[in-house]
Chain A
Amino acid sequence: MKPPVPQEYDQWLEQLQTVDFVLTELQLYLDTHPSDPQALQQFRAWTERRRLIAGQFEAQFGPLEATGGARSLHHWDWVESPWPWQV
């Protein structure tokens, strides 16, 4: 049986969900406002923040995408961490 995720998992996950949500909102907005320079600038800034947070999340809790797997030479870490509906 897999051990439950550590306590910090929830806070990290919510941080990631927060940046991803801002990006989703800006993305849909830009789909109908493709030349709003302020929104474009914001999107770029949040993309950079997302890269950092996702990197830290994956280092602690495993890959977010299958292509980010195989960090370990010994086991396929994509299938090791619990799935989103399980946590």
Chain B
Amino acid sequence: MWIYQKKLQYPVRVSQCNPRLAKYLIEQYGGADGELAAALRYLNQRYTIPDRIIGLLTDIGTEEFGHLEMIATMVYKLTKDATLEQLRDAGLGEHAADHGPALFYHNAAGVPFTATYIQAKGDPITDLYEDIAAEEKARATYQWLIDMSDDPDLNDALRFLREREVIHSQRFREAVEILKQEQQQKHFF
């Protein structure tokens, strides 16, 4: 089970009302390499990975939900109290026609989230390589987002999230090394 903590992992601050940035950030909310996809991918792979790796998948998957909440907070703050005209001018008119001011799990181009973004092959090395690739893809997405944003406060939190992908990738790489280790030989005399 999970227990909710009433706080963000890292402070999220936004300097200006800027719905255009929210439109881009939604990529990390409901996009292919976003935080929702990450959380669901790792937590689902847990059931068919050697015991030694289950804790890591559980803990990183859980942290990804915390990142999802940070992205949601950014989107919420960037669009809160924006007028329909402002949303329309920021390219969010189509979004508002369906969802009004609500958040939704789709990518920056409006494509709804799909389970086909994630994979589980039940082969431990294959799954961990998928996870390493997912972290690098998320890191790359954060780089594009930082490049496109000129909100220094927002970029501070985006840099934090990018660094977390570095750490997650590192840990998944270590998990691969753990699975490569030769088993303790049983000695029969």
Q: Which A residues fall within an 8 A CB radius of B? A: 10, 13-14, 16-17, 20-21, 24-25, 27-29, 31-32, 62-67, 78, 81, 83-85
Closest to A67 in B: B3
**Interchain CB contact under 8 A, A84 and B7:** yes
Contact indicator per residue, chain B 54-78, by CB within 8 Å of chain A (1) or not (0): 0110011001000001001100110
B73 neighbours in A (Cβ, 8 Å) = 84-85
Query: How would you classify the secondary structure of chain A's contact residues: helix, strand, loop or mixed?
Result: helix
**Interchain CB contact under 8 A, A85 and B69:** yes
| Chain B interface extent, by class | 20 to 34
**Interchain CB contact under 8 A, A28 and B9:** no
Distance to closest chain A CB from B34 (angstroms): 17
Query: How would you classify the secondary structure of chain B's contact residues: helix, strand, loop or mixed?
Result: helix
Question: How far is it, in angstroms, between the C-alpha of A9 and the C-alpha of B55 when the chains are bound?
Answer: 33
Known A84-B73, A85-B76; judge A27-B6 contact (CB<8 A). Answer: no
A62 neighbours in B (Cβ, 8 Å) = 6
Among B19-27, B130-138, B167-175, the stretch that binds chain A is: B167-175
**Interchain CB contact under 8 A, A17 and B10:** yes
**Interchain CB contact under 8 A, B171 and A32:** yes
B91 at the interface (CB under 8 A from A): no
Question: How far is it, in angstroms, between the C-alpha of A13 and the C-alpha of B73 when the chains are bound?
Answer: 16
- 4 smallest CB-CB distances across A and B, nearest first, come from A85-B73, A31-B56, A32-B174, A31-B55
Question: How far is it, in angstroms, between the C-alpha of A10 and the C-alpha of B138 when the chains are bound?
Answer: 29
**Interchain CB contact under 8 A, B171 and A85:** no
**Interchain CB contact under 8 A, A28 and B56:** yes
Known A27-B59, A67-B3, A81-B6; judge A32-B11 contact (CB<8 A). Answer: no
A65 neighbours in B (Cβ, 8 Å) = 3-6
B148 at the interface (CB under 8 A from A): no
Among B4, B5, B55, the most chain A Cβ lie within 10 Å of the Cβ of B5
**Interchain CB contact under 8 A, B56 and A17:** no
A27 neighbours in B (Cβ, 8 Å) = 59
B174 neighbours in A (Cβ, 8 Å) = 32
